C-alpha cells in the first residue's frame, strides 16, 4: 500500500468527521435527543444515527464497486426531500411530546407558608411510554440512512473511488469515512448530553423552552429543504 493511498484513507476519516456536523445532521439529532434529554440518550441516538448513515454509504458504495451499478441522478434529490420531511416530523413530535406531558406551572400554598410554584407533568401509561421509546430508538437509524443517501455524502464518499485500483481500498475508504462520522457524532452526543444535563438543573420550564426552540428550528430547516427542492 503506497503513501498516496494512505493519505486518501486518512482524508476519508477527516471528511467523515466534518460531514457529521452538517447543519441538517446536527438539527436532526438534537430534535430526536431532546424528546428525552439526557446524556445516555444523546450518545445512543448519535451512535444509531451514525450506524444508519454508514450502512447507507456502504450499501451504495458496494453496489457501485462490486456490481458496477450507476447511482440514479435523482436519488439524492428524493432522499433530500425525505430528510426535509423527516426534520419537520421530528420537530412536530417534540411539540406533541411536550403537549402529552402537559407540563404546566402549578401554584399552591402549604399551611403557614407563602404561595409557591412548581412544574407538574401528567405522565402517560408505562406501556405507552415503552412503545414510544421503541419507536424513538429506531428513528435515528432511519434518519441516518436518509442522510447517508442524501446531500453531499455520496459525493464526498464515492468520488475518490474511481482513483482506487483495488475495490477493497474503495470499501476501506467508505469504512473510514463512516468511522469518522461515528467518532464525530459521539463527541457531539457527549456535548449535547452535557448541555441537556445543565439545562435540567435550571428547571423544567427552561428545558421545555429549549425543546420548543429545537423543534421550531427542525421544522423550519426541514421546510427550507423541501421548498428548496421544489422551488
Quickly state the pLDDT bin for 39 (edges 50, 70, 90).
Answer: confident
pTM beyond 0.75: the answer is yes
Please give the C-alpha separations between residue 133 and each of 93, 140, 187, in angstroms, as whole numbers.
Answer: 13, 12, 23
User: Stretch 98-119: mean pLDDT, rounded?
Assistant: 54
Q: What is the DSSP string of the chain?
A: --HHHHHHHHHHHHHHHHHHT-HHHHHHHHHHHTTS-SHHHHHHHHHHHHHHHHHHHHHHHHHHHHH-PPPPTTHHHHHHHHHHHHHHHHHHHHHHHHHHHT-EEEEE--TTS--EEEEE-----HHHHHHHHHHHHHHHHHHHHHHHHSTTHHHHHHGGGGG-S-HHHHHHHHHHHHHHHHHHHHHHHHHHHHHHHHHHTT-HHHHHHHHHHHHHHHHHHHHHHHHHHH-
Q: pLDDT tens, 46-92?
A: 999 999 999 998 888 888 878 877 777 677 778 888 899 999 999 99
The closest of 148, 159, 181, 182 to 79, measured between CA atoms, is 148
For 120, phi then psi, to 5°, come to -125, 140
Judge whether residue 116 has pLDDT over 50: no
Q: pLDDT tens, 166-213?
A: 788 888 888 999 999 999 999 999 998 888 778 776 767 777 888 889
> How confident is the prediction for the chain on average, in pLDDT?
78
Query: Domain limits of the chain?
Result: 3-102+118-230
Judge whether residue 28 has pLDDT over 80: yes
User: Stretch 17-41: mean pLDDT, rounded?
Assistant: 86
Quickly state the pLDDT bin for 104 (edges 50, 70, 90).
Answer: very low
Judge whether residue 99 has pLDDT over 70: yes
Q: In this predicted structure, what is the pLDDT of residue 114?
A: 52
The closest of 146, 137, 131 to 59, measured between CA atoms, is 146
Q: pLDDT tens, 124-133?
A: 444 444 445 4
Judge whether residue 161 has pLDDT over 90: no
Distance CA 189, CA 183 (A): 10
Amino acid at each position: 500500500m503506497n503513501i498516496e493511498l494512505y493519505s486518501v484513507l486518512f482524508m476519508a476519516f477527516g471528511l467523515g468527521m466534518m460531514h457529521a456536523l452538517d447543519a441538517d445532521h446536527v438539527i436532526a439529532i438534537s430534535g430526536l435527543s431532546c424528546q428525552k434529554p439526557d446524556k445516555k440518550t444523546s450518545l445512543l441516538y448519535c451512535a444509531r444515527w451514525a450506524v444508519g448513515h454508514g450502512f447507507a454509504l456502504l450499501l451504495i458504495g458496494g453496489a457501485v464497486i462490486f456490481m458496477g451499478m450507476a447511482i440514479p441522478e435523482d436519488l439524492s434529490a428524493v432522499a433530500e426531500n425525505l430528510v426535509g420531511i423527516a426534520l419537520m416530523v421530528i420537530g412536530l413530535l417534540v411539540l406533541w411530546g411536550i403537549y402529552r406531558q402537559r407540563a404546566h406551572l402549578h401554584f399552591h400554598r402549604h399551611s403557614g407558608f407563602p404561595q409557591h410554584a412548581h412544574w407538574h407533568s401528567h405522565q402517560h401509561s408505562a406501556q405507552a411510554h415503552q412503545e414510544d421509546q421503541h419507536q424513538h430508538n429506531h428513528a435515528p437509524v432511519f434518519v441516518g440512512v436518509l442522510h447517508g443517501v442524501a446531500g453531499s455524502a455520496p459525493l464526498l464518499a464515492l468520488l475518490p473511488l474511481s482513483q482506487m485500483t483495488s475495490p477493497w481500498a474503495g470499501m476501506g475508504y467508505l469504512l473510514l469515512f463512516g468511522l469518522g462520522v461515528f467518532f464525530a457524532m459521539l463527541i457531539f452526543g457527549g456535548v449535547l448530553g452535557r448541555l441537556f444535563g445543565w439545562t435540567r438543573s435550571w428547571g423544567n420550564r427552561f428545558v421545555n423552552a429549549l425543546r420548543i426552540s429545537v423543534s421550531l428550528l427542525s421544522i423550519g430547516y426541514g421546510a427550507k429543504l423541501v421548498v428548496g427542492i421544489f422551488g
